[in-house]
Every structure is written in C-alpha cells, then in structure tokens.
Chains A and B, each alone.
Chain A
C-alpha cells in the first residue's frame, strides 16, 4: 500500500509572471495590449484636442446641408439643392455600378484568357501571355487615364455629326452614336407605362421603382418556373418510359411568348438618340468616364483572374483529363464538365480578393472625372465643407462594408462549390 500525496500546491507569487513560462506569454500580451490601447487613446485625444484648437470639432451635421454641386451620372434623381448625404448616395451607387459591371466583365474575360493561355495553339497561347503580362505589370491608374485619352482624342465630337456631309455618322441603323463624350444607345420606352412607385417620400434615401420592370421580371420569373416544370416532367417521362419527349419548342415558347405579350401590351418601343442643340438627346448615355473606368478595371483585373484560372486548371491532375478523354469526351466537354467544376474550388478564394481589389480600385475614378463615392463624399463634399476627417472616415466605413459584403457572399458561394470531404 502506498500513499499518494498531492504535489505541494505552489502558491502564486508575482515574480512568476515573468519567470514562469506558463504565465510569461500572457504577461507580455497584456502589456502589449495596454501599450497599444494607450497609443490609440493618445492618438484619438491628440487629434480631438488639435481639432478643437482649430475650432473644427468633429460633426456630421454637414451631411444634411444642401450640396450645391451637380453630378452628371446619377442613377437616382438628384439636383444641386439635395443634401450632401444624397450626393454621397449617388456616388455610392456609381461606385457599385462600375464595380458590378467590372466584376462581371473581368470574370468572363479572365476565364476565357486563362483557358486560352493553356491552349495547344502556340500563337493564341503566346498572345494571351502578352496580354496578361502587359496589363498586370502596368499600374491600373495609367490604364484608366490611357483609355480615357484614347476615347477623347480618337472619337468624333458631337459637332462632327452635324451638317449635310458630316465627318461622322451614327452606327447600327442610325441608332447608336459613338462620340468622345460617351456612347448613346437606344433606351426602352413604353407607350402604356404602368408608372413608378415612389418610396420613402422626401427622405434622402428616396427612390422610384419602375412598375414596368417589376411586371416584366415577374412574368419572366413565372415563365422560367414553368419551363423548369416542363423539364422535370420530361425527366420523369424519360425515367418512366425511356423516351425523352421533345420539349425545346415548348420551353422556348413558355419563356418568350408571355414576355413578348407583356411588352406589346405595355407599348414597348425604343427611344433613339438624336443630335439636338449641343449634345445628343434621348437614349441612354454611357459616359466616357464610365466606359474608360469600366474597361480599364476589367482588362486589368482580367489579367489577374486569367492567372488564377490557369493555376486552378493546372491544379487538376492530368489523370482526370486523360480519364475523361478515354471515356470519349471531346476537349471542350472535358473542360466544361470535368476540369472547370473541380478547378473552381481552387479559383474562388483568390477570385474574392480580386473582386475586392477591383471594387477598391474603382476609387481611382476621379482621374477621369467619374463621380463615384470618392469623387462626391471624399472629393467635392470634403472640399466644400472642409470636413476631412469625417468624410474620409465615412468613406472608409462604406468601402469596408462593401468589401465585407462581397467577401461574405463569395465565401457563401465557395462553401457551396467546394469539394465535400467525408
């Protein structure tokens, strides 16, 4: 029989905070944290005190004052008597617009270029290498300015369209005008328009929803739903009888006819741009600044996405391709059915950072006078009100929110497509 005694309980001494390895790391962390907090506190109080001495206490009251300046591209109604907040909102929407368009175009271009860079055709593969290296290695600001300069200098001014023998003419059956102020394309109009719903009264976040668009989307959604039903019915029939009924004509009719009928009922027609006074009037005006920024951001980011796609494809072992090819699949189907779906799990995480980069790079818009959030809130509003700290902090907060939303969405998508490992 042996007697088990507990080891003598060591009492805690303060010196153990330094000499005992169990506590030492914690001590260091606590000291570092306190030091960091003191530094932050000093910075904040110092800034606040200096601003107070200058007589510029932080205040966000300026947001509700009239902005006084005009914005050329506005997705919601706005005039110069609206508040700075409204102006910032218009800028935010412009940021989101160019980021959205840019992400889509960059992805499409990037995937095509990345795949083509692996092409067995020597010329195509080399051309794509040149593209990637050219766009990846020049700062995006230079591309933005360069494309803008090309648009301004090489395209005809609206006044060149005037006269009996004009120097420039409109394209595509006289419906599209390409000028050095932007591209004017026909706009959809309705004779029997359903009108708009106005939301939020007079608030700064007010906006209109076009009922025509809502009706069209509802009909289209219903048609797509019906089309899916037909496919399911076809699948069932095939399982039961072994024969697949021909459904493409039914399905296309279900999708196209109701939408077409709705458009006819609403009196759909196109509004063409026409030269009136100084400018083209009517149609949708896509300004040069938008086109230059959109193109530059897309082409630049596409080069990075192409490399990511290439890496993703190369990450799939050759055995997969060979096995698919042994089953008799043609190269195009191997790419679409075997390689790309697996490559996606490698591609998506770095793709997220590229979307974020594109969105943040859109703040270079001021170089071409595109009125995004940086141009309105952190540009003109800051300049006219002199609230540097407040506007920049607000702007940072907004960009942070946009980035977090994008990465949240992409992470959700990544979780859906990643390989399920058991």
Chain B
C-alpha cells in the first residue's frame, strides 16, 4: 500500500511537471478556459455571491485575463485554494494563475520558482481585537492567544514581531478565514491577525463590526499580487500587462463608461496603443489587438474595480491609501504602453 501511494505521488509529480513545461498561453487557448486559483472565500477579494458567481477584487483580475485571452470573462474556472494548497496547485499546473492575496516575497519568487507579475494591492499585516479587551496597541498583547492562518507569511511576521518586542503569545493555527472567524468570535482567541485588508473584509461580515478594532500597528509589508509559474514568460507577460492595463486605464481616464467611445480612436496615442487602434501591442503578446479593451470591458479600470469591491462605499470600506495612482500620492505606477 505504501509503495503504491509513493509511486502514485511520483506519477502525479512527474505528469504535472510535464504539463507545466508546455506554453500556458497555448494551453489556455486550446482549453478555451482559464483556471484561476482564488481564496476559499474572503468577501470583497474573492467569494461567491448569492447566485454562486465568484466576485471580488482578485476575481476581477482573473476575469480581466480571461477576457483578454479568450474574449469572454465567463470562460473561467475558479479553484478555491487555502494558504497551504495554493503553491502546490500552481506549481503542479492545476491552475494557470493564482490571484489570492498572496504576498510577493524573495523566497517565493526565487526559491519556490514563481513569478509575481505585479502588485494589485499594497497591504500590511495588522491585528484585530474585540474593543472590550481595551487594547490600544499590539505591544500590549503579551500573553494573548492569536489566531493565524497557517502556511502564510503572516505566521512568520507574527513570530518575528513578538520576538523582537520580547513578548509572548500563543498561536492557534487555522486553515481558512472562516475557521478563524468562528474561533475569534467565540473568544477562543483574543486576536486575529492577517493582512489589514483581510481584517477589514472579515470584520465587515460580523453582526456588529463596531465592537472590533483594528490596531494601529502594521507590522509588515505585504505587497499582494497575482503570480504565475516561473519560466513561462509569454504567459507571465499576458497576466502582467493585463494588470498594468487596468492600472494604466485609470491613469489615462479610460472607464467602463467611455470605453466604447475611446476604443474607436482618440487623440491620445497612448490610449490608442492601449486599446489597440494603433500599434501592434496585442500581436506582440500573442493576443488580439483589442485585448486590453476586452479586459477593461469586464469591470472597468483598477479604480472602478477597487471602488466596487473593497472601496469606501462598500461594507469593507478600505481607503485607497498606498493603492492610489502615483499621481495621487500612491504607489500604483504602470509602465508605459509603448
């Protein structure tokens, strides 16, 4: 029994690695479907709505890529992954890209052999506590029980933070955001820590969000972005520039409202190049000339996607902050479309 399992595992590893070697772009086109890895459910970023359709900030990136490559944002299969399973799913070729609020780190990029195509949300790790505990700073958390999603960078940041501040804590490892929510609300842990955006999204689903405070300390840099397998640069370029197109569109003022008007040609050559009425950027990527227009037709530009899913008018209520355009004092800066 043990031997057969062993060889079974080897077979899977062998076959999967074999599949990964082929061009993902061709694979996706041949399959006529994009396999996109998302979270198991984090409202605002990726969660099924009442009709069972996935929606959210990360999902919008997947849909934009599907539209750019296949011309249809519904030709997509969402694969829910946990913090533990996501990298194996991507490395084995089960998914073509991962858009699952995943932090861009050196070892993931270099050692795990992935390629982060950019950053779609600049985040940092925070702490959420019930207000009744009367805690106002993370440094007062000595001896606290902390719920933490296992297999994440937050786990390591947490260990570093408590170590460098010379205070103790009790980690309670959990698998998904839903489990963390259950344990936190029942008081089985005092604190829930994850990316600040995730905390805001989780808090928005509570019965009484006002009873919980997010502490001011942000203990890490968490640049979250979509990633693909290392080595397949054509596919990496497609995902990278789809993301850049969403960011650039906001900067250039292309919205879902004026998209069709602008796609027929404007006076601004950069908009024309982006939307494919000028130059041959789409051809260079191996896509149609109007790839970016198709991508933008799904949910609009970055700003629109942000406002619709996690912006200040939503229950999650995140401010743009670092995620504003560079012209507005943020960090979003798409390279030129030229």
Q: A: which residues have CB within 8 A of B?
A: 40, 43-44, 46-47, 50-51, 53-56, 68-72, 79-81, 149, 152-153, 157-160, 180-181, 276-279, 281, 288-289, 366-367, 369, 371, 375, 379-380, 382-386, 388-389, 392-393, 396, 400
**Contact status B170-A46, CB under 8 Å:** no
**Contact status A396-B151, CB under 8 Å:** no
Listed by A's residue number, 21 A-B pairs whose Cβ atoms lie within 8 Å are: A40-B7, A47-B13, A47-B14, A50-B17, A53-B21, A54-B20, A54-B113, A54-B231, A55-B230, A277-B142, A278-B144, A279-B143, A281-B143, A288-B188, A289-B172, A366-B150, A369-B175, A383-B87, A386-B112, A386-B113, A388-B88
**Contact status A279-B144, CB under 8 Å:** yes
Min Cβ gap A71→B in Å is 8
**Contact status B173-A371, CB under 8 Å:** yes
A276: B residues at CB distance < 8 A = 143
Which of B88, B159, B187, B189 has a CB less than 8 Å from the CB of A80?
Answer: B159
**Contact status A380-B151, CB under 8 Å:** yes
User: Which secondary structure dominates where chain A touches chain B?
Assistant: helix
A386: B residues at CB distance < 8 A = 87, 91, 107-108, 111-113
Which of B9, B13, B113, B144 has a CB less than 8 Å from the CB of A55?
Answer: B113
Min Cβ gap B131→A in Å is 12
Instruction: Sort A-B residue pairs by CB-CB distance and give the 7 closest, nearest first.
Output: A157-B187, A50-B17, A383-B151, A386-B112, A80-B159, A46-B14, A277-B143
Docked pose: A54 CA to B142 CA in angstroms:
43
Docked pose: A226 CA to B254 CA in angstroms:
92
0/1 string, B76-100, CB within 8 A of A gives 1: 0000000110011001000000000
**Contact status A54-B174, CB under 8 Å:** no
B163: A residues at CB distance < 8 A = 79-81
A279: B residues at CB distance < 8 A = 143-145, 170, 190
**Contact status B145-A181, CB under 8 Å:** yes
Docked pose: A278 CA to B172 CA in angstroms:
14
**Contact status A152-B188, CB under 8 Å:** yes
**Contact status B173-A396, CB under 8 Å:** no
In the complex, residue of chain A having the shortest beta-carbon distance to the beta carbon of B2:
A400
With contacts A70-B159, A80-B159, A396-B5 taken as known, whether A50 is within 8 angstroms of B13 at the C-beta atoms is yes
Docked pose: A158 CA to B187 CA in angstroms:
8
Min Cβ gap B98→A in Å is 14
A55: B residues at CB distance < 8 A = 113, 230
**Contact status B159-A72, CB under 8 Å:** no
Min Cβ gap B175→A in Å is 7
Docked pose: A235 CA to B115 CA in angstroms:
80
B145: A residues at CB distance < 8 A = 181, 278-279
